[in-house]
Amino acid sequence: MKMTNELWGQVRQQLQETVGANNYSTWIEPLEFSDLRDGVATFLVPTHFIGDWVRRNFADQIKHLMHSAATPVSRIEFSLAKRAPVAQPKASKQIETAQDKTELPGAPLDRRLTFDRFVVGKPNELAHAAAKRVGEGGTVTFNPLFLYGGVGLGKTHLMHAIAHDLSISRPDLNVVYLSAEQFMYRFVQALRERKMMDFKEVFRSVDVLMVDDVQFIAGKDSTQEEFFHTFNALVDMNKQIIISGDRAPGEIKNLEERIKSRLQSGLVVDLHPTDYELRLGILQQKVDKYRTENSDLVLADGVLEFLAHRISTNVRVLEGALTRLFAFASLVGREITLELAQDCLADILRASARKITIDEIQRKVSEHYNIRLSDMIGPRRMRTLARPRQVAMYLSKQLTSRSLPEIGRSFGGRDHTTVMHGVRKIEELKMLDSQISDDLELLRRALEA
């Protein structure tokens, strides 16, 4: 029997349960099924290292699961994907895809996603505080709590943490967590099986309802409709609702106006992209945790700082990098130097290298110095405009790979010697003028965030 992608989909899902969410997203998710011939299953991998690791650690499980799915496989091979798919998992599917078969409408909780393990920093402190409050299970003060932010910033983590806290603070409450996708799935299933009454009853008996990634139901009209009714019924009964989305309610396209306004009627808090300090804090926490079980991990100075600098804002990518690094460390059995880390994580680092554009730099710098963008690019030469312009030129040289003539063209067609002069001027001032060096540092961080 030919192994289809569908079968691999099944096997993957089972692996998710056996290997754990972290292993799954680090090792299994990057595998792309290629083909199955003569009992040899071939997968495409982004790096040799991942292939080696999977072969050592998961090959038997994979073979076993395939065997159980009536597709015996004698060997597993890996070849390098040409256009390396990034080991960057998509949405937060890892916990949610495991569908429970019981009557309860919720998805299982990941026991590791607790407040204890949530590192708090400037970008997420408000969301964290609000989530903590809801987790206390006191009187419902903001309803709904709407958490939003980009992928991998901790929305799902906070929701699970709330559920864990509630299970202690209010064991009497019926807390249900599920993704909007699962909500739809259950709704459609109820329609198909003509069990809408049951569906309504079950959802209306919930005390705390958490719906993750609500943007998923945008454009799905009957699901939205049902969601709206469920929502209203629960709010009317003063039950707590917690919703997450990838952007602010008002900005979700194809979401009915009345739902948007309902979502805005409680407390709306956003998780900002992580900054360097938060990333470093998260890395340190994970390393400490890992060290308690594997005392022999030795990381050279600067490795974590380097990762915090270079890896994008998505915490899941950061974790994936660390998991791989830990595995690598245990494999090579010696100190992980910066160079080894760079090697082992080359694909992730490459994918994370955010391309900063001159345009962004010009915008940020104009904003910072409160001048018009048109003046940044225009011909006027007074000091109040020339200095910010030079700062922008300097940052363009530092943070992009553009040449001096290219930079000149982006600044209203100036000559490359003008750019060079500007860059030198700022280099000089940086040493002498602490205001300028502070500005540069601030701008660089804002652009790299």
Which positions lie near ligand ADP, rule CB under 6 A? 92, 113, 117-119, 124, 149, 151-157, 282, 315-316, 319
| Binder of residue 311, out of ligand ADP, Mg ion, none (CB less than 5 to 8 A by kind) | none
In angstroms, the CA 152 to CA 316 distance is 5
What are the distances in angstroms from CA 105 to CA 50, 176, 186, 198? Answer: 36, 7, 8, 11
Q: What is the DSSP string of 358-372?
A: HHHHHHHHHHHHT--
Q: For 334, which DSSP code?
A: S
Q: How buried is residue 283: exposed, middle or buried, by Cβ count under 10 Å (0-12/13-18/19+)?
A: buried
- The two structure tokens encoding residue 75: 């060997």
| Nearer to Mg ion (CB atom), residue 36 or residue 151 | 151
Q: Among all residues, whose Cβ is closest to ligand ADP?
A: 154
Cβ(3)–Cβ(38) under 8 Å?
no
Cβ(214)–Cβ(252) under 8 Å?
yes
First to last CA, the chain: 49
Name the site residues for Mg ion (rule: CB under 5 A).
92, 155-156
Q: Minimum CB separation from ligand ADP for residue 291, in Å?
A: 16
| Nearer to Mg ion (CB atom), residue 223 or residue 244 | 244
- Residues present in the chain in total: 449
Q: Minimum CB separation from Mg ion for residue 246, in Å?
A: 9
- The two structure tokens encoding residue 360: 């962004």
Cβ(166)–Cβ(137) under 8 Å?
yes
| Binder of residue 275, out of Mg ion, ligand ADP, none (CB less than 5 to 8 A by kind) | none
- Neighbouring-strand partners of residue 80: 45
Q: Minimum CB separation from ligand ADP for residue 150, in Å?
A: 7
Q: Minimum CB separation from ligand ADP for residue 123, in Å?
A: 9
| C-alpha triplet 278, 284, 287: angle, nearest 5° | 145
Q: Minimum CB separation from ligand ADP for residue 118, in Å?
A: 5
What letter represents residue 155's amino acid?
A: K
Q: Minimum CB separation from ligand ADP for residue 318, in Å?
A: 7
- Neighbouring-strand partners of residue 160: none
Q: Minimum CB separation from ligand ADP for residue 352, in Å?
A: 15
| Binder of residue 217, out of Mg ion, ligand ADP, none (CB less than 5 to 8 A by kind) | none
| Binder of residue 319, out of Mg ion, ligand ADP, none (CB less than 5 to 8 A by kind) | ligand ADP
Residues whose CB falls within 8 Å of the CB of residue 68, separated by 6 or more in sequence, listed in order:
none
| Nearer to Mg ion (CB atom), residue 155 or residue 364 | 155
Q: Minimum CB separation from ligand ADP for residue 270, in Å?
A: 11
Q: Minimum CB separation from ligand ADP for residue 95, in Å?
A: 8
| C-alpha triplet 255, 260, 264: angle, nearest 5° | 155
Strand (E) positions, 149-301?
A: 175-179, 208-212, 240-245, 267-270
Q: Minimum CB separation from Mg ion for residue 155, in Å?
A: 5
| Binder of residue 157, out of Mg ion, ligand ADP, none (CB less than 5 to 8 A by kind) | ligand ADP
| Binder of residue 242, out of ligand ADP, Mg ion, none (CB less than 5 to 8 A by kind) | none
- The two structure tokens encoding residue 449: 């965030």
In angstroms, the CA 208 to CA 169 distance is 13
Q: Among all residues, whose Cβ is closest to Mg ion?
A: 92
| Binder of residue 268, out of Mg ion, ligand ADP, none (CB less than 5 to 8 A by kind) | none
Q: Minimum CB separation from ligand ADP for residue 32, in Å?
A: 22
Helix (H) or strand (E) holding 44: strand 40-45
| Binder of residue 400, out of ligand ADP, Mg ion, none (CB less than 5 to 8 A by kind) | none
| Binder of residue 247, out of Mg ion, ligand ADP, none (CB less than 5 to 8 A by kind) | none
Strand order in the sheet with 75-80: 32-37, 40-45, 75-80
| Binder of residue 316, out of Mg ion, ligand ADP, none (CB less than 5 to 8 A by kind) | ligand ADP
In angstroms, the CA 299 to CA 297 distance is 7
| Binder of residue 119, out of Mg ion, ligand ADP, none (CB less than 5 to 8 A by kind) | ligand ADP
